[in-house]
Structure 1
Amino acid sequence: MHNSFFYDTIEKIQSKIDDIKASSLCFVCEDNFILNNFRDDLLNSVLDFNKLDTLIIKPSGGNIKIEQIRDVEEFLMYKPNYAKVKVVFFEDIDRLNIEAANAALKLIEEPPEYALVFGTTTRWNYLLPTIKSRFIRFDLSIPLVLIEDINTKYKETAIYFNFFRHYDSGVLLFLNDENTDISRIKDEVDRIVNFSVNDVDELLNNFKLPLDLPENKLKFALSYYKLWNILINLNDKEFFYLIKDISQIKNDVENLTFLRNISTLGTILLRDAMVFLNSSKWKFFWNNSLVYFFGLNEHILNLEQLKDTVSYLNRMSTMRLANFNFEMEIFTHFFRIKRCFIKTIK
């Protein structure tokens, strides 16, 4: 059996292969990175699978189309040649268009006795009720052992990594990789955490890093929160000028990707603010470091403004069309979040 974080789940599927043949399972998770890693581990690890008897269906042009369902039907007409089970794996099955979904109903409900149909989705509720009812749902999450390993390796520094479970789990896998230099990562985190208003240019430089590398995503996210640590303590005039400086990176970043990322990070910040407002239980925080970075205990919160801003950020984080004014969205982003927090008198 392949040594993976999903060992228990994959071993269960392997041991029950005869019982689950001729059925359909949908793996659900909020993070596509987890789903893709699980798919690879599953297909490479189960002894009864073979890549020559496996068909992977991916969205084409944004959707899974009826022509692809026809390919699946043809693929399933014949018994496996090299494996015990034929496997069809639908990635992002919520992308089935209406025509394809209707055509797929029967094969999802009743695969051949020698076949298994798998699907993955981050948006279970987007599936048609008729599709959902034909799948056995299987929820996946970040394996606890991964979090425990990171906490052990990075000790007190690990507090700054909690929120990556909800932002980008690929960063967690990078942090846990045996080839990752733990001392260098710790030094980089300490450097960002200890930045002051005089180091804003270095924080902005971290915003310009290519985000295809997990280490850069780490720097980007921590720099965003450290920037808030600085911004929240500025007077209105200083705040305005610093936001203006941030908007000047327009030509150095991919605008839509940048806005999506800071919107997701802003949502995490406000989500923890709502937890702080309503609970003293630290286990519910996605990122304990935000309390220290942002000084949540030094602010009262405008709950209505906070809810409205979360809705705005959610829209921005899923925005597809590049029909926006970058500078205006930067100002809107930071001013909206700032208005959620009211400084208290110490």
Structure 2
Amino acid sequence: MGIRSIENNTVAKRIILGALEKEKLSYSIILKGTISDTYFMAIQIAKALNCNSPELDSCDMCDSCIKIERNVHPDVIVEEPEGSFIKISQIRRLIEIAPLRPMIGKKRVFIIKEADSMNEEAANSFLKTLEEPSSYSHFLLLTKNPEKILPTIRSRCLQIEIFSEKDSFIEKFVKKGFPERNAYFFSTLFENDFEMALSYDMERILQRREIVFKIIKNIMDREYLNAMDSLLSEIKIGKNVTRAEWNEDIDIFLKIILTFMQDFIKLKVGDKNAIANSEFLEKMEELKERLELEALIRIIERIEFLRASLERNVNQSLFPYILFIELKEGLNVKGSN
């Protein structure tokens, strides 16, 4: 069975096949889902990358596909925890062979099961490999809990949700009558939790997304007063709002910012197949050259830190100013036109 033959996971198939067609499949991918579902998809990706047929997808009949299916292909390597953790000795083995040419196939594919179980030493070592990817190798990180993976690793990976159930978030979203063009944004924002998405005012979130992009552009154009005014308007303390409600509201606002930062990273590395804010694609393309990849990664790390600080009762009055400083430092690395 090739990728096209999988009945569900429409979005995942579109992203993967689109990237394969352009020969731009990310060298590092997080597959989120159950162990069995993500491993099944990882094997299909490995076959497609190494299939001997001229087709885009795997044929399931050539020697390469058969070897991968039987888990005897020397260029498809599967790692899983030894005990409770994936240890640095395991990662070092991968690092040693990742830069080498494949033995018999077209690509080396490293499938790491339960990737969130890497201990700190292993994760830091693995990060160095992602910073200097080899054109011969692809890493597929399988996990049910991508949030437990080191943020600096996550920021360098394309994340794809693999569903067990028939209807994915996107399909449910469209069936409810919502426009498909917004589906991937909401699935990213709510981490494919459709019921949670329904509990929010989606129109209001789309309005806030417009405001977030305006803030980003204002900062990049050094229109700081306009950016600050927008932040103060969005991050305000209401008299009839509890602390928990304020935290939840600000967390959504920060997550919207994260979707843009993640999109900019994808555009910087040439990946247009999984853009959450696709309606802003043309405008983001214009801005991306003024941004540094490392600065974007730092912004993501700082935003994640600010999200965590909400639980520690961060000062509400100071919060918009703190957020402004973090965005300003990251978004003006190359200056502005």
TM-score (norm 2): 0.42
Larger helix fraction of residues: 1
**Bigger CA radius of gyration:** 1
Flag the structure with more relative contact order, 1 or 2, with Cα contacts below 8 A and sequence separation at least 6.
2
